[in-house]
């Protein structure tokens, strides 16, 4: 039986066609090549190589093409990118047969955090030119991504002594095992030839390295008395809770434009919740609108996790931004079980009536709460409040449903209570509810693409600044893939060359 046979491996072999003909005329790598060549990388903040004696350097454009291609194909390791430069026909076409080593690729990434981050904003200018952005409605949301910090490398101050004792105990155990083995084998048998002893010695070496590391961590605790937790691998990581799991990582934030679900703002913080993220995200959004010369009003949609009085009040005088954030108390995610609640539902602050003329609150049992100070008190969150106290709760039959405080019921009322109350009422209106419901379909779409389609569920880089640059490039990769799908190859290249 005859089969299709390949070329004899010992036969001299030449390509049947040019390198350019080996790549499809509408392959997306041609877009990568043309787009990068169109950029002024020096003005974007990329570090230009210095021309010294000896071997000339690689072009920055070439190294960026390798980086581009890697992220598009889910390859982030510099060592894997080096391999692709030698065996992948698309990469060979892109680099014109050049193959920088992994250290060159890694150094390029390390030195060009600013430039890599600016690529994201630069591409948004192209998207605006193509008519793909409106910024009329933007959804802001966050997701938790794991950092390069295993939980075994997270150290608590109050556990250091326990860890040190455990290591010392294990070292003593291995030393005792070596002594016993020497006695059994006799002095005539050399230690180096004993496989069991070799294994024990390797474990001892690892333990001593761990011991040295723990001692260094202990010194850091001694130098920083206010620190109770140290993340040894990535010091900027923090514990993040996501779907019932607690991991060391970061809180990645995005703002997504409703027109084509493109990410228009990307940011990373190590804070474990979204309470303080509205202002920095809105500031980035306003800066982008200024750069793109977009002057329309923007509806900003957020979930209940962003409901923070201080953040809402900060935006009240800005006519270019309109916030839509549901009250956290109305969200199932933040509701407490009735059995855990004191006060009960009937005695929550919303059921207390305010007498504006007398400046007192009246509880459901007709008892009055009077202001304790003439000046507001500033809380840790930055919110300014007045405290009102009831002084005759002791004879109330419902006191156990109202408070556990022996002094009686007290409530804290924000100086911005009237504005926040009106804001909450607006958020419950039909048109506001419809907008807020739209938020999920906008913000969750890019996260699904980034995590599941691209597979980016964790960060490769260490340190907040490096992680920020990496996430902006991940968001750029999402946008580039989406724009290629929306415009198609021909339209993209036409706009690029216009």
Sorted by sequence, the CB contacts under 8 Å of residue 119 that are 6+ apart come out as: 39, 44, 64, 472, 473, 476
Do 141 and 443 contact (CB within 8 A), yes or no? yes
Same domain, 224 and 171: yes
**Among all chains, which residue has been given the structure tokens 């750029």?**
476
The Cα 480–Cα 478 span in angstroms is: 6
User: Would 14 be classed as within a structural domain?
Assistant: no
Measured from the Cβ of residue 215, the count of other Cβ atoms closer than 10 Å reads 12
Task: Print the domain residue range for 340.
Answer: 335-407
> Which secondary structure element, helix H or strand E, spans residue 309, and what is its range?
helix 309-314
Q: Please report whether residue 481 resides in a domain.
A: no
Q: Which two tokens stand for residue 312?
A: 């809402």
Are 142 and 243 part of one and the same domain? yes
From 55, 54, 89, 51, select the one nearest 69 (Cα to Cα). Answer: 89
**Residue closest to 64 by CA, chosen among 72, 55, 56:** 72
pLDDT, position 39: 93
Q: How far apart are the C-alpha atoms of 401 and 341, rounded to whole Å?
A: 9
Per-residue pLDDT of the chain (498 residues; tens, 9 = 90+): 788 877 777 877 666 678 888 899 999 999 999 999 999 999 999 998 877 667 788 999 999 999 999 999 999 999 999 999 999 999 999 999 999 999 999 999 999 999 999 999 999 999 999 999 999 999 999 999 999 888 778 888 887 888 888 887 877 777 777 666 666 655 544 444 456 667 777 777 877 887 887 888 888 888 887 778 888 888 899 999 887 788 899 999 999 999 999 999 999 999 999 999 999 999 999 999 999 999 899 999 999 999 999 999 999 888 899 999 998 776 655 555 555 678 888 898 889 999 989 999 999 999 999 999 889 988 887 788 999 999 989 889 889 899 988 889 999 999 998 899 999 999 999 999 999 998 988 988 899 899 988 889 999 999 999 999 999 999 999 999 999 999 999 999 999 988
Q: What is the CATH number of the domain that holds 295?
A: 3.30.420
Residues 103 and 138 in one domain: no
Q: Are residues 246 and 320 in the same domain?
A: yes
Query: Are 343 and 304 found together in one domain?
Result: no
Q: Which of 231, 254, 284 is the last residue of a domain?
A: 231
**pLDDT value of residue 229:** 82
Residue 309 lies in a domain: yes
SS3 of 441-464: HHHHHHHHHHHHHCCCCECCCCCH
d(CA 142, CA 156): 27
Residue 40, CA distances (Å) to 36, 95, 241, 497 in order: 9, 19, 41, 15
Tell me, yes or no, whether 283 lies in a domain.
yes
Note whether 158 and 141 are same-domain residues: no
319 and 342 assigned to the same domain = no
11, part of any domain? no
Query: Does one domain contain both 223 and 323?
Result: no
Report the distance separating Cα 265 and Cα 285, nearest Å. Answer: 6
**Is position 498 within any domain?**
no
- Tell me if 371 is assigned to some domain: yes
Structural domain includes residue 120:
no
End-to-end CA gap in the chain:
57
CA–CA separation, 421 vs 417, rounded Å? 6
209 and 74 in a common domain: no
User: Are residues 312 and 271 part of one domain?
Assistant: yes
Q: Do 283 and 211 belong together in one domain?
A: no
Q: Could you tell me if 212 and 181 lie in one domain?
A: yes
pLDDT of 55 reads 79
Domain boundary among 231, 263, 287: 231
CB of 396 within 8 A of CB of 405?
no
Distance, CA of 456 to CA of 474 (rounded, Å): 8
pTM, to two decimals: 0.84
Residues 200 and 179 sit within 8 Å (Cβ to Cβ): no
Between CA 450 and CA 144 the distance in angstroms is 12
Domains held by the chain: number: 4
pLDDT of residue 209: 80
């Amino acid at each position: 039986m005859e089969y299709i046979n390949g070329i004899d491996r010992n036969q001299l072999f030449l390509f049947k066609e040019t390198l350019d003909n080996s790549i499809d005329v509408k392959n997306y790598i041609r877009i990568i090549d043309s787009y990068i060549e169109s950029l002024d990388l020096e003005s974007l903040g990329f570090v230009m190589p210095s021309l010294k004696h000896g071997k000339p350097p690689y072009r920055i454009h070439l190294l960026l093409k390798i980086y581009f291609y890697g992220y598009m194909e889910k390859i982030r390791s510099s060592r894997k990118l080096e391999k692709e430069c030698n065996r992948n026909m698309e990469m060979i076409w892109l680099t014109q047969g050049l193959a920088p080593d992994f250290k060159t690729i890694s150094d390029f990434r390390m030195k060009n955090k600013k430039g890599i981050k600016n690529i994201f904003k630069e591409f948004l200018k192209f998207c605006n030119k193509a008519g793909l952005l409106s910024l009329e409605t933007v959804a802001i949301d966050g997701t938790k991504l794991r950092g390069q910090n295993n939980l075994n490398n997270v150290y608590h101050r109050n556990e250091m002594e326990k860890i040190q004792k455990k290591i010392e105990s294990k070292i003593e155990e291995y030393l005792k095992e070596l002594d016993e083995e020497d006695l059994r084998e006799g002095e005539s048998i050399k230690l180096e030839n004993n496989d069991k002893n070799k294994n024990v010695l390797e474990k001892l070496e690892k333990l001593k390295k761990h011991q040295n590391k723990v001692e260094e961590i202990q010194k850091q605790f001694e130098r920083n008395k206010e620190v109770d937790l140290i993340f040894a691998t990535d010091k900027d990581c923090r514990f993040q809770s996501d779907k019932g799991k607690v991991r060391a990582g970061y809180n990645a934030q995005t703002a997504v434009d409703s027109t084509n679900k493109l990410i228009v703002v990307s940011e990373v913080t190590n804070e474990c919740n979204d309470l303080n993220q509205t202002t920095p995200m809105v500031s980035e959004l306003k800066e982008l609108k200024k750069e793109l010369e977009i002057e329309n009003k923007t509806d900003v949609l957020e979930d209940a996790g962003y409901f923070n009085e201080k953040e809402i009040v900060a935006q009240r005088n800005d006519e270019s931004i309109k916030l839509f954030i549901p009250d956290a108390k109305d969200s199932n995610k933040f509701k407490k079980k009735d059995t855990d609640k004191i006060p009960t539902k009937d005695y929550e602050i919303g059921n207390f009536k305010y007498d504006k003329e007398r400046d007192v609150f009246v509880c459901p049992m007709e008892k009055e709460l009077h202001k304790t100070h003439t000046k507001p008190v500033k809380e840790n969150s930055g919110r300014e409040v007045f405290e009102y106290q009831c002084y005759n709760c002791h004879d109330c039959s419902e006191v156990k449903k109202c408070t556990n405080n022996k002094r009686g019921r007290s409530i804290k009322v924000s100086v911005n209570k009237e504005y926040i109350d009106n804001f909450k009422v607006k958020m419950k209106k039909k048109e506001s509810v419809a907008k807020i419901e739209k938020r999920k379909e906008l913000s969750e779409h890019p996260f699904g693409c980034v995590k599941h389609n691209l597979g980016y569920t964790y960060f490769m880089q260490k340190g907040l600044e490096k992680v920020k640059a990496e996430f902006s490039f991940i968001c750029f990769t999402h946008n580039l893939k989406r724009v290629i799908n929306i415009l198609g190859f021909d339209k993209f290249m036409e706009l690029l060359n216009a």
